[in-house]
Amino acid sequence: MKSASNIPQGDGDVITIMLVDDIPETRENIKKLLAFEPDFKVVGSFGNGREAVTMAKEMRPDIIIMDINMPDMDGIQATSEITKAVPTAAVVMMSVQNDPDYLRKAMLAGARNFLTKPIDTDELYNTIRTVYARNKPIAEQYRILEDGHALDMRRVAHLNVGEKRGGHIIVVYSPQGGAGTTTIATNLASGLMKKGIKVLLVDADTQFGDVGVFLKLQAQSTLADLVSQVDDVDVEFFDNSLATHESGLKVLLGPSRPEYADDVEANPAALASILDKVSHQYDFIVVDTSSHLSEMVIALMDLAAKIVLVATPTLSGVKNAKFVLELFDKLNYSANKTMFILNRTEDERARQRLTIPSEIIEKHLKHPIQGKIPADERTVMSALNRGVPVIASQRERNRSPIREMIELADKIFFSLVQQDDKDMEMAAAPKKKSGFLRLGRASR
Ligand SMILES: Nc1ncnc2c1ncn2[C@@H]1O[C@H](COP(=O)(O)OP(=O)(O)OP(=O)(O)O)[C@@H](O)[C@H]1O
Ligand SMILES: [Mg+2]
């Protein structure tokens, strides 16, 4: 045990503490011990894990002292749920057993430290203060980033370590024209933007790119200029080619005229190689594409950490999505690289036509639907007219389809930050052959 002098004492903070144990006397004893110290404040005391999860969300204590063995929901399960839902709270596990297996399970669930019963007073005080001091910067970062919806700070803590950013490339694609790719790409980019996070949106619909129209943006240069001078592109050149939306989002616009598309696509690997070069200037790069599955799009998909595959719940939407998923399989993309999203669900007009129920779609595609974005002409059109992403309307965060778009961005945010280390390794690995070359060997 460390001596008290080594323990950070905080900055005069009062540490809020929640106690969870099914034995009332244990809770009372700990409460009495904590009452002697002016920097501790017990804000709640509960007898089972389930209640602890609910109350932790409400009370948001700094520290939760949690028993392992409890009826209904045990401490391990409760810790796992709390660390996801309330990342500002640090859990200290408590048990009579000093069993390494318990310890391992507790740590895996997200516990920060461990106390053995019967509780030693000094150890209790020191553990609380140490855990609080260690968790404080993470909790503060979380509070800054938190903008009304749950973030998992254990993962956010990985961000912005050093100069190199995550550089996660997310390609949004639909084999169906008009399925909502640009709407989703624009809102995804906007939803990924949180304090301290740098996001780039790339319009790789080389012929009829709409991002400039959606966001009312113009730029001196476009991706056509970059691709034509691919060998000279460096970070500064790239930066100077970007437009900046009023929200701060950086945007690389598509060619200014449709006839430039051929020039861009003539060098299908160019855009991917440019994005690869600048990727670590950004945390996330969202790429909007056209429905034409060109070699350029495949090169971008090869490079991507995630592909958001968009379809409407219609026969042609599902048929084409199936084809694309099969193609991804042949390209050896891992199943979790693709995130399948249905757009324009619950559409009154579409309902009168034939829409396919989710269960049937999932069964047919053998892939889960990982997001459903309801149709709402008024919200989407009003955002379009104002040149802002749909989700820019902060007051209506709980309204569909704003809520679903924010949820999609959060889902992708966390799944990518979690994969951070793995992605870094992959980025450092030797380049693979282009998708079409690899496909040539696969059956058609
Ligand atoms: N969830 C939605 N609710 C209502 N309207 C939507 C929704 N998603 C997209 N739209 C509208 O559908 C139209 C097509 O959307 P969008 O341009 O995003 O599709 P796209 O797949 O990028 O099309 P393209 O193939 O032309 O690039 C737009 O007018 C857009 O405002
Ligand atoms: Mg589009």
Tell me the DSSP string of 361-421. Answer: HHHHHTS---EEEE--HHHHHHHHHHTS-GGG-GGGTTSTTHHHHHHHHHHHHHHHHHTHH
**How many Å lie between the centroid of ligand 1 and the Cα of residue 107?**
45
pLDDT score of 128:
95
- Does residue 161 sit within a domain? no
For the entire predicted model, the pTM comes to 0.65
Residue where a domain terminates, one of 156, 176, 210: 156
DSSP structure class, residue 255: P
Residue nearest to atom 9 of ligand 1 (CA): 180
Contacts of residue 212, defined as CB under 8 A and 6 or more positions apart, other chains included, come to 203, 218, 219, 243, 251, 253, 254
- Does residue 23 sit within a domain? yes
Place of tokens 């990924």: 192
DSSP structure class, residue 119: P
Q: Which ligand is nearest to the CA of 178?
A: 1
Phi-psi region of 160 (alpha: psi -120 to 50; beta: other; left: phi over 0): left
Residue where a domain terminates, one of 112, 129, 156: 156
- Does residue 37 sit within a domain? yes
Q: Which ligand is nearest to the CA of 177?
A: 1
Pocket mutation for ligand 1, best pick of 171, 172, 174, 183 (most atoms within 8 Å of C-beta): 183
Residue where a domain terminates, one of 131, 156, 181: 156
Ligand 1 pocket by C-beta < 6 Å: which residues? 174, 177-183, 205, 210, 290-291, 343-344, 373, 375-377, 380-381, 384, 401
Domain limits for position 274: 168-439
For the record, the structure tokens of 440 come out as 């040539």
- Number of domains comprising the chain: 2
pLDDT score of 416:
81
SS3 258: helix
Same domain as 336, residue 205: yes
**How many Å lie between the centroid of ligand 2 and the Cα of residue 196?**
28
Same domain as 210, residue 263: yes
pLDDT score of 403:
86
The CATH code of the domain that includes 57 is 3.40.50.2300
pLDDT score of 143:
65
Contacts of residue 294, defined as CB under 8 A and 6 or more positions apart, other chains included, come to 265, 268
For the record, the structure tokens of 9 come out as 């004492």
**How many Å lie between the centroid of ligand 2 and the Cα of residue 204?**
9
Ion ligand 2: residues, CB within 5 A, are 181-182, 210
- Tens of pLDDT along the chain (444 residues)? 333 434 444 456 899 999 999 999 999 999 999 999 999 999 999 999 999 999 999 999 999 999 998 988 999 999 999 988 888 899 999 988 666 777 778 888 888 888 888 899 999 999 999 899 877 867 776 665 554 444 444 344 444 444 578 889 999 999 999 999 999 999 999 988 876 788 999 999 999 999 998 899 988 889 999 999 999 999 999 999 999 998 889 999 999 889 899 999 999 999 999 999 999 899 899 999 999 999 999 999 999 999 999 999 999 999 999 999 999 999 999 999 999 999 999 765 555 556 788 899 999 999 999 999 999 888 888 887 777 788 776 567 778 888 899 889 988 987 787 666 455 455 555 555 444 444 443 433
**How many Å lie between the centroid of ligand 1 and the Cα of residue 229?**
32
Q: Which ligand is nearest to the CA of 310?
A: 1
Same domain as 143, residue 235: no
Residue nearest to atom 23 of ligand 1 (CA): 178
**How many Å lie between the centroid of ligand 1 and the Cα of residue 5?**
62
**How many Å lie between the centroid of ligand 2 and the Cα of residue 172?**
10
Same domain as 210, residue 111: no
Q: Which ligand is nearest to the CA of 184?
A: 1
**How many Å lie between the centroid of ligand 2 and the Cα of residue 78?**
43
pLDDT score of 418:
64
CA contacts within 13 A on the Cβ side of 390: 27
Ligand 1 atom closest to the CA of 205, numbered from 1 = 27
Cite the DSSP H helix spans in 41-177. Answer: 49-59, 75-85, 100-109, 121-145, 153-156
Same domain as 213, residue 276: yes
Pocket mutation for ligand 1, best pick of 171, 349, 378, 380 (most atoms within 8 Å of C-beta): 380
